[in-house]
Copies of this chain bind each other. A is one copy, B any other.
């Protein structure tokens, strides 16, 4: 069996940047997981003493709080600043952008529609910058909304563009102005395009990334649509040798928060299975 990596996969600009920031801030703590990858977070703790705290109350005057790639709600950021916590912002610049858009468009009187997962930390952060915002995941969610005639539309950075377009296509004919901000990040696009191509070719697909990682889930759903033998794993321990029996081509992709060392472990383990 051959193993083939997608043309684009794994760490994006924002994740690389956040890890570099964390490594440069030893003995700090991130507020919430820096990225959606437990293995990489454990490595940062072990090698750089960057802890993880999920409780805002843990941060006191003089502490250093590293803001996760997904950003945090505006009021929580204000609270840290008021408390004179040393805030190091590792929010991905592609996430800062929709936060700014929500703030500006709210001020200009637009109704704000966010395409994404209401419970995802990125969206909880982005939404907090609007006076009021409606978070939707599908066209049906739009039908009951009372929106103004002028709408600003933003997307979670890791969403699939064709699903975003369905939202835009519903709104545009029904309202006077729909201001569509393309906030889906390029790395997400590129990883998605590459997994789309590879999964059409492969007869087994392995998508590596945190189970809570939005962009990994999107990659997995694209893979699954083209290749029924697709599996979403976090690391090599989730692999099952039987998946590779009588297969010719194993395709591999990984989410934006999956470090290369985990991908390499997965490749090595699959090679051992099929040797």
A182 cross-chain contacts in B, Cβ below 8 A:
172-178
CA distance A103 to B269 in the complex (A): 62
A268 cross-chain contacts in B, Cβ below 8 A:
none
CA distance A148 to B115 in the complex (A): 24
Mask for A148-174, Cβ within 8 A of B = 1, else 0? 000000000000010011001100111
Nearest-CB distance from A96 to chain B (Å)? 14
CA distance A189 to B176 in the complex (A): 14
A180 cross-chain contacts in B, Cβ below 8 A:
168, 172, 177-180
Q: Sort chain A's interface into a size bin.
A: 10 to 19
A261 at the interface (CB under 8 A from B): no
CA distance A172 to B189 in the complex (A): 13
- Look across to chain B and name the residue whose beta carbon is closest to the beta carbon of A174: B182
Contact A176 B181, beta carbon cutoff 8 Å? yes
Mask for A253-266, Cβ within 8 A of B = 1, else 0? 00000000000000
Nearest-CB distance from A72 to chain B (Å)? 24
- Look across to chain B and name the residue whose beta carbon is closest to the beta carbon of A169: B165
Nearest-CB distance from A155 to chain B (Å)? 10
CA distance A172 to B174 in the complex (A): 17
Contact B165 A173, beta carbon cutoff 8 Å? yes
Residue from the list B161, B164, B169, B177 in contact with A181, Cβ < 8 A? B177
- Look across to chain B and name the residue whose beta carbon is closest to the beta carbon of A176: B182
Nearest-CB distance from A173 to chain B (Å)? 5
CA distance A148 to B103 in the complex (A): 23
CA distance A169 to B177 in the complex (A): 15
Nearest-CB distance from A107 to chain B (Å)? 16
Q: Taking each of A165, A179, A180, A189, which has the highest tally of chain B beta carbons within 10 Å of its own beta carbon?
A: A180
CA distance A199 to B180 in the complex (A): 34
Q: Taking each of A161, A169, A172, A176, which has the highest tally of chain B beta carbons within 10 Å of its own beta carbon?
A: A172
CA distance A15 to B105 in the complex (A): 36
A161 cross-chain contacts in B, Cβ below 8 A:
173
A175 cross-chain contacts in B, Cβ below 8 A:
182
Between-chain CB contacts (< 8 Å), 13 pairs = A161-B173, A165-B173, A168-B168, A168-B169, A168-B172, A168-B180, A172-B182, A174-B182, A175-B182, A176-B181, A177-B182, A178-B182, A179-B180
Given A169-B169, A177-B179: 8 more A-B contacts, CB < 8 Å:
A161-B173, A164-B172, A165-B169, A165-B172, A172-B180, A172-B182, A174-B182, A178-B180
Q: Which residues in A have some Cβ–Cβ distance to B below 8 Å?
A: 161, 164-165, 168-169, 172-182, 184, 189
